[in-house]
Copies of this chain bind each other. A is one copy, B any other.
Amino acid sequence: MIKAESSLEYLQKLFILPDTTDKFMEFGLAVLEMIYDFFKEKKGLHKKITLPELAQIFNQTSIPEGPYLIRDVLEEIREKVTVHSVMVASPYYIGHMTSAIPYYMILLEIIIAALNQNQVKIETAKASSFVERELVAWIHRIIFERDEQFYRKNIQNHRVALGNVTSDGTMSNLTALLVAREKALPPDKSFPGVRKAGVDKALSYYGYSRMVVLISQRGHYSIRKAAHLLGLGEENVISIPVDMSNRIDISALKRKIKNIKRDDLRKGKKTKVMALIGIAGTTETGNIDSLTELGDIARQEGAYFHVDAAWGGAALIVDEYRSLFRGIERADSVSVDVHKLLYCPMAMGIVVFRNEKDLGHLKQFSQYINRRDSVDTGRFTIEGSRPFACLKPWASLKILGRDGYRLLFKQANEATLTFKRVLEESENFEVLNHPELFILNYRLVPPFVLEKFHAWEEKIKARSNRNEITELTRKTRKTNRILNALNVQLQKSIRQEDTTFVSRTTLESTRYRPQRIAVLRAVLINPLINEDILKRIVSTQNRIGLRLMDHFEPHLREAIA
């Protein structure tokens, strides 16, 4: 690249919008064309370039000298970055929660960057602080449905916060569990509380041997991360089994709590159940816990009740989904991501608290901002500087409206059912979850194996010969181990061919439980998905699967023999 000149005059011109729109439009068009090219090219979803090849491209070990012309750097971005980016917007890319976004989001990003407000304090964010509070109230209301008077009173009441805008779901969950920790170990008489004194002093003051967080096996890894950060220890996140629908097993949960109490009696020291966590829906399978029952148990145990609805929560915009989330209004707090079902660009989370005073536990002050008498949003957040990201969901909820989101969710739901049907019709796949929120788990199983599985299942049910049951179980397990290897290989080959994409995980909540099953995972929220596309995805995977069978069939035949 040719080095550009550098002078203060040149730099100053960069810091104001050009006098005419022409110059800006020229670059704007170049950028748009780059993006058009990206979306049009047929180089595959993840691109053929290998990771070692990319490592060769991005191997400059110190800051380039520069300066270079904007035009040249944009060209460099086109050549090196955009062409090797993942095409998450493609309807053939159904592997993760990252999907297409409406193009007006780009317009909103332009506004956000140009205004460059910092949400941390009113002196750097005026109207935008109020937009944020309004949006948080909307999300609070679809979840907790408190009365009009509550929202009238609190929507712009700077003394309290109904929730925080965070950088993502992980930060939302962390914020919620931090509040839970403060509420479990509050100031008392001469004890200043966990916030001031720390976890060790607080546990000892309250006579607890430890504090635990209970969540199902489908829990997101951010909960373990939060327990790590908050000094509770990862081993105090207790994993509860799920049922076949990937919902927390309520009896197992109750048994666990009972066992904890029994052990406490034996040891003579109390375990504090700090929080129960419900999931709506799970990252891997999209299913929703029985929130009503979880709420009851939490109340009974005096535990904080948080619902991780980072994935599903936004569905509550639409009344039709309400019944799935029954009980969510009992939660103390709920996380919702806007870059998932609200179709906003990466990344923004929201965490809302039923009790408007709960975030008061995190209130903090400093001399130069967030003074005690201030109205600054930053008094309540874990993050400091924050962008005006809330404009995106705020505007999008107006542009799409509840009607628009209703249609998007309907389309996603239909796409999920269609995909399930197409998979089942192909007869080479086995569907492994009951999809609730647009996520489907399945795997490649050749028909001759599936038939055997059915036959064995019948036999196990019918017979009582213990040896035979043991033998069939052993054979099932062995066959599944081969199928696991097959499906891991299938997903890798799909990625290699790169015309379609699904992700992969491991589940034990299937008909083969407790054996862990490698499953393919599809997230079907891209509104550009249609039946043709889904058929092409399945036939591609079928074709790749058949090819792999050359190697796997003999092993499978042997296992089921």
CB-based contact B8/A231 at 8 Å: no
Could you tell me the distance between the alpha carbons of A12 and B547 in the complex, rounded to whole angstroms? Answer: 35
B residues within 8 A CB of A225? 364, 382
B residues within 8 A CB of A141? 61-63
Q: Which 6 A-B pairs have the closest CB atoms?
A: A66-B401, A231-B231, A198-B233, A67-B401, A199-B231, A170-B384
Size category of the A interface is 35 or more
Select which of B155, B200, B399 is within 8 A of A199 by beta carbon.
Answer: B200
CB-based contact A64/B401 at 8 Å: yes
Q: A8-B527, A221-B364, A337-B385 are in contact. List 6 more A-B contacts (CB 8 A).
A: A11-B404, A16-B39, A58-B134, A59-B134, A68-B399, A70-B107
Give the residue name and chain of the B residue nearest to A225 (CB). Answer: B364
CB-based contact B233/A63 at 8 Å: no
CB-based contact A95/B123 at 8 Å: yes
**In angstroms, how far is the closest chain B Cβ from the Cβ of A6?**
4
Let me know if A264 is at the binding interface, CB within 8 A: no
CB-based contact B8/A126 at 8 Å: no
Let me know if A400 is at the binding interface, CB within 8 A: yes
Select which of B54, B115, B198, B368 is within 8 A of A283 by beta carbon.
Answer: B368
CB-based contact A103/B399 at 8 Å: no
Could you tell me the distance between the alpha carbons of A228 and B381 in the complex, rounded to whole angstroms? Answer: 13
0/1 string, A399-411, CB within 8 A of B gives 1 = 1111110011001
Q: A368-B504, A395-B73 are in contact. Are A12 and B233 (CB under 8 A)?
A: no
CB-based contact B346/A116 at 8 Å: yes
B residues within 8 A CB of A31? 107, 110-111
Interface-located stretch among A78-86, A287-295, A459-467: A78-86
CB-based contact A400/B195 at 8 Å: no
Give the residue name and chain of the B residue nearest to A74 (CB). Answer: B107
Let me know if A178 is at the binding interface, CB within 8 A: yes
CB-based contact A194/B82 at 8 Å: no
B residues within 8 A CB of A107? 27-28, 31, 70, 74
**In angstroms, how far is the closest chain B Cβ from the Cβ of A543?**
22
B residues within 8 A CB of A121? 96
23 contacts across the A-B interface (CB closer than 8 A)? A3-B401, A21-B32, A38-B115, A49-B126, A54-B126, A58-B134, A58-B155, A59-B156, A63-B142, A63-B317, A65-B403, A67-B400, A67-B403, A73-B398, A81-B128, A98-B124, A101-B116, A109-B109, A198-B231, A198-B232, A200-B231, A231-B232, A367-B505
CB-based contact B113/A345 at 8 Å: yes
CB-based contact A54/B127 at 8 Å: yes
Could you tell me the distance between the alpha carbons of A404 and B51 in the complex, rounded to whole angstroms? Answer: 32
Let me know if A298 is at the binding interface, CB within 8 A: no
Let me know if A391 is at the binding interface, CB within 8 A: yes
CB-based contact B195/A364 at 8 Å: no
Let me know if A306 is at the binding interface, CB within 8 A: no
Copies in the complex: 2
Could you tell me the distance between the alpha carbons of A177 and B15 in the complex, rounded to whole angstroms? Answer: 36
B residues within 8 A CB of A62? 137-138, 141-142, 151
0/1 string, A183-203, CB within 8 A of B gives 1 = 000000000101111111101
Could you tell me the distance between the alpha carbons of A133 and B51 in the complex, rounded to whole angstroms? Answer: 13
Could you tell me the distance between the alpha carbons of A50 and B229 in the complex, rounded to whole angstroms? Answer: 40
Could you tell me the distance between the alpha carbons of A84 and B225 in the complex, rounded to whole angstroms? Answer: 39
Could you tell me the distance between the alpha carbons of A194 and B171 in the complex, rounded to whole angstroms? Answer: 21
Let me know if A117 is at the binding interface, CB within 8 A: yes
0/1 string, A491-532, CB within 8 A of B gives 1 = 000010000010111100000000000000100001110000
**In angstroms, how far is the closest chain B Cβ from the Cβ of A416?**
16
CB-based contact A346/B85 at 8 Å: no
B residues within 8 A CB of A181? 231
CB-based contact B66/A8 at 8 Å: no
CB-based contact A386/B347 at 8 Å: yes
Could you tell me the distance between the alpha carbons of A134 and B192 in the complex, rounded to whole angstroms? Answer: 45
Of A60, A232, A347, chain B has the most CB atoms within 10 Å of the CB of: A347
B residues within 8 A CB of A25? 25, 28-29, 32
Q: A24-B32, A88-B116 are in contact. Are A222 and B384 (CB under 8 A)?
A: yes
CB-based contact A398/B233 at 8 Å: no
0/1 string, A87-100, CB within 8 A of B gives 1 = 01100000110101
B residues within 8 A CB of A448? none
Q: Which residues of A in the span 272-311 have a Cβ within 8 Å of any Cβ on B?
A: 283-284
0/1 string, A319-347, CB within 8 A of B gives 1 = 00000000000000000010100010111
0/1 string, A371-386, CB within 8 A of B gives 1 = 0000100000011111
CB-based contact A407/B7 at 8 Å: yes
Give the residue name and chain of the B residue nearest to A70 (CB). Answer: B104
CB-based contact B109/A113 at 8 Å: yes
